[in-house]
Amino acid sequence: MTAAGLAQTAAKPAVPRTSARAAVPSTSSGVKLPPGVPPSHAVVRTAFSLRYQDIRVGTGAEAEPNKMYKVQYTGWLASDGHKFDSSYDHKMPVMDKDGKPELDADGKQKMVEAQPLSFAQGFGRVIPGFDQGFTGMKVGGKRRLFIPWQLAYGARGRPGPNAANPGIPAKADLIFDIELVDQSDLDMQMLQGHPGMGQPRVMPHAPGGTENKPTPPPTGTQANPGAPPPAGTPPPATPPDAKPPAEKPQSN
């Protein structure tokens, strides 16, 4: 059976964190409404949904919102099964005390095993489907996510670094295998004013292995509104069509 067929038959809808509420009266449309909301009898339609399969149920602590997650992942395009990225593929070079890469007996660079991705859950540091996909998991668990394009990279996709690595196509549904390795409390000071905060992404590297560092704010803007510009920051460039300010007459 194909991955798409498997998603339709075996995957189940993700449970949002807000689902554990007390039962409220339902309308004829089947939607439960809290008191004070007027009923509507119009047909309810689903635009898109996040689906998943629990491959292995973890035995550790249950995933909590607004924590620092440490995860392993592999992502494929749902259309053709092309693997566009995996945390397991990003090995790091071994560095000596002088900061230079160490070589083995054959003169090849020594590499250490790839480390899990760490991200702050609930802060927009990853695509929505990935961010929400750990709900209900426990540390040590493995899950397969079926993410619709609306919860992934949207209608525009994500361009790659070159023609050989074109990135994520427009309106691409994605499949991710994820493992929750660990979770810990957030360092809020680290999150405040972090450049690139709110730019959705999953991979610590762009498709094809090119490093994807957070995008710094453009010249003349501040990551933390109200903060003074860093020392040595050049003034913003004057637009080419701007006229120089008129000189004020000097008083005698």
At 215-240, the pLDDT tens digits run: 333 333 333 334 444 444 444 444 44
**Could you tell me where the beta strands, DSSP code E, fall in 14-82?**
51-56, 68-77
> Which of 203, 240, 198 is closest to 215 using CA atoms?
198
Of all helices (H) and strands (E), which one includes residue 130? helix 128-132
**What percent of the chain stands above pLDDT 90?**
39
Asked if residue 220 belongs to a domain, the reply is no
For range 155-169, the mean pLDDT:
87
Q: How would you label 189-205 residue by residue, b for 16+ Cβ within 10 Å and e otherwise?
A: eeeeeeeebeebbbbbb
Place 146 in a pLDDT band, splitting at 50, 70 and 90. Answer: very high
Q: What pLDDT shows up at residue 229?
A: 42
Asked if residue 207 belongs to a domain, the reply is yes
**How many whole angstroms separate alpha carbon 69 and alpha carbon 67?**
6
Range in 28-42, 97-111, 178-192, 198-212 the model is least confident about: 198-212
Q: What pLDDT shows up at residue 206?
A: 35
Asked if residue 161 belongs to a domain, the reply is yes
Range of the domain at 192: 47-90+111-212
Asked if residue 233 belongs to a domain, the reply is no
**Three-state secondary-structure class, residue 18:** helix
**How many whole angstroms separate alpha carbon 190 and alpha carbon 120?**
10
Place 101 in a pLDDT band, splitting at 50, 70 and 90. Answer: confident
pLDDT digits (tens, 9 = 90+) for 67-95: 999 999 999 999 999 999 999 988 777 78
Asked if residue 7 belongs to a domain, the reply is no
Asked if residue 119 belongs to a domain, the reply is yes
The CATH number given to whatever domain includes residue 173 is: 3.10.50.40
State the Cα angle at 4 between 62 and 209, rounded to 5°.
70
Q: Is the pLDDT of residue 208 over 50?
A: no
Q: What pLDDT shows up at residue 70?
A: 95
Range in 10-14, 118-122, 132-136, 139-143 the model is least confident about: 10-14
Considering its fold, how many domains does the chain have in total?
A: 1
Q: What is the pTM of this model?
A: 0.60
Q: What pLDDT shows up at residue 233?
A: 42
Asked if residue 52 belongs to a domain, the reply is yes
The residues, any chain, with a CB within 8 Å of residue 247's CB and separated by 6 or more, are none
Asked if residue 187 belongs to a domain, the reply is yes
Could you give the C-alpha distances from 204 to 3, 73, 116, 119, 207, in angstroms and in order?
A: 25, 11, 10, 10, 10
Q: Is the pLDDT of residue 175 over 60?
A: yes
